[in-house]
């Protein structure tokens, strides 16, 4: 799907839904249990996304334990014991309000993304395999993903036991094959809208159409009648113009002063405040977009770029690094939305307010 999701609206929507559900539930109860999660919202997909996140948290803890060099976690008895422990633990889910709210927000955002842009969602799932088998990751996720079953099955069959690169190359072809068969996002999200209605115009803003070529002669005459003498109004400086997409002055690279000044001047909802690392600030569809549009569809290249930027000491140093390594060499369109969003992320990394 080519529709571009408004991340700011999606984050606010997920918060509103989660806050409403949590206010109703935790108004009378102190803890959330596993059984109650399954029946929590009218959207079964949201409920399963919460369980999926809990399952992933468990796996993260197991991986931390396996990093201990003193024990053999490949031992069959140990493996079976861990499975049994997981079964026992799953029956003892007990989450307080403050910890459950962010889990639910993530679940709502993932659900909306899965409904609107399944290709981007599954791209994120493939990347989360972190060098392990994407097939194993998707197989585990299938228990919790209740939509687009044929699409997911075909992707797993096409990707087979291949690595992440194989799966990412297969994803676009599989999506094109099943695109017309996918259920509409509005139908899928109908149950979620029982909690809070979605402003679809805000969630998926329409791209403003250019003026028709057959405009009236009077309009064309007005367009060519702009005065060119010294009395004409001066242009607004690019550094503070929200309508200007330019971050360059006279050189080939991005001007850090113009970029910083623009983000300082903008009161954009995308700028949610400082982040501790570049990777932390990335949403799933941003990760997909940046990799595809800015880093030649190479996730390793983007991952290295994010780490290198994190190691910089200032915004200026980070922009100089981006100019030196990526802007010219990868032929970035410096006026594109993708570049603007990437620079916003860098701004958030070094904004200390």
Compute mean pLDDT per 10 residues along the chain, 353 residues long, and list them.
Answer: 72 94 94 92 96 88 87 90 87 92 93 92 84 87 93 93 85 89 94 96 70 46 40 35 51 81 64 76 79 82 90 91 90 87 90 63
Contacts of 291 (CB under 8 A, 6+ apart): 297, 298, 299, 302
Residue 251, pLDDT score = 62
Range of the domain at 314: 256-351
Does residue 186 share a domain with residue 49? yes
At residue 242, the pLDDT reads: 37
One domain for residues 65 and 194: yes
Q: Are residues 126 and 36 in the same domain?
A: yes
**pLDDT for the residue numbered 2:** 46
β-partners of residue 96 are: 31
pLDDT score at 130: 73
pLDDT of residue 27: 93
The reply to whether 185 and 278 lie within a common domain is no
Looking at the fold, whether 37 and 186 belong to one and the same domain comes out as yes
- Per-residue confidence (pLDDT) for residue 81, from 0 to 100: 92
Residues listed for the chain: 353
- Asked whether residue 83 falls in the same domain as residue 196, the answer is yes
Give the per-residue pLDDT at 352: 64
Q: What is the pTM of this model?
A: 0.68
pLDDT score for 249 = 53
Would you say residue 197 lies in a domain? Answer: yes
One domain, residues 345 and 281 = yes
- Examine the domain organization and report whether 196 and 305 are in the same domain: no
Mark whether 15 and 128 lie in a shared domain.
Answer: yes
Residues 193 and 308 in one domain: no
- CA distance linking residue 189 with residue 193, whole number of Å: 6
Closest residue by Cα to residue 156 from 128, 181, 137, 179: 137
Report how far apart, in Å, the C-alpha atoms of 101 and of each of 15, 20, 213, 247, 353 are. 8, 10, 50, 38, 25
């Amino acid at each position: 799907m080519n529709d571009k999701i408004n991340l700011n609206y999606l984050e606010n929507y997920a918060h509103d839904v989660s806050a409403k559900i949590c206010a109703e539930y935790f108004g009378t109860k102190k803890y959330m249990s596993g059984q109650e999660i399954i029946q929590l919202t009218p959207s079964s997909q949201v409920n399963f996304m919460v369980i999926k996140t809990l399952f992933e948290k468990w796996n993260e803890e197991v991986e931390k334990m396996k990093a201990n060099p003193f024990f053999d976690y490949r031992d069959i008895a140990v493996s079976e014991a861990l499975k049994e422990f997981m079964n026992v633990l799953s029956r003892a889910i007990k989450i307080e309000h403050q910890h459950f709210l962010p889990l639910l927000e993530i679940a709502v955002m993932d659900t909306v993304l899965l409904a609107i842009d399944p290709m981007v969602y599954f791209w994120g799932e493939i990347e989360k395999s972190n060098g392990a088998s994407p097939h194993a990751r998707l197989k585990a996720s299938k228990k919790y993903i209740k939509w687009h079953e044929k699409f997911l099955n075909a992707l797993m069959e096409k990707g087979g036991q291949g690595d992440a690169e194989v799966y990412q190359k297969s994803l676009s072809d599989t999506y094109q094959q099943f695109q017309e068969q996918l259920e509409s996002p509005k139908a899928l999200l109908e149950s979620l809208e029982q909690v809070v209605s979605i402003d679809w115009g805000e969630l998926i803003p329409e791209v403003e159409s250019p003026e028709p070529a057959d405009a009236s002669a009077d309009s064309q005459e007005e367009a060519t009648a702009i005065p060119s003498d010294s009395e004409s109004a001066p242009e607004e400086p690019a550094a503070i113009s929200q309508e200007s997409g330019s971050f360059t002055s006279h050189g080939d690279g991005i001007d850090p002063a113009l970029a910083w000044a623009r983000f300082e001047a903008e009161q954009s909802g995308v700028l949610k405040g400082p982040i501790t690392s570049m990777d932390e600030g990335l949403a799933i569809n941003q990760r997909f977009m940046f990799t595809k549009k800015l880093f030649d569809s190479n996730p390793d290249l983007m991952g290295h770029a994010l780490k290198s930027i994190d190691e910089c000491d200032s915004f200026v140093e980070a922009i100089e690094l981006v100019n030196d390594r990526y802007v010219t060499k990868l032929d970035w369109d410096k006026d594109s939305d993708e570049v603007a969003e990437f620079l916003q992320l860098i701004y958030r990394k070094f904004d200390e307010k």
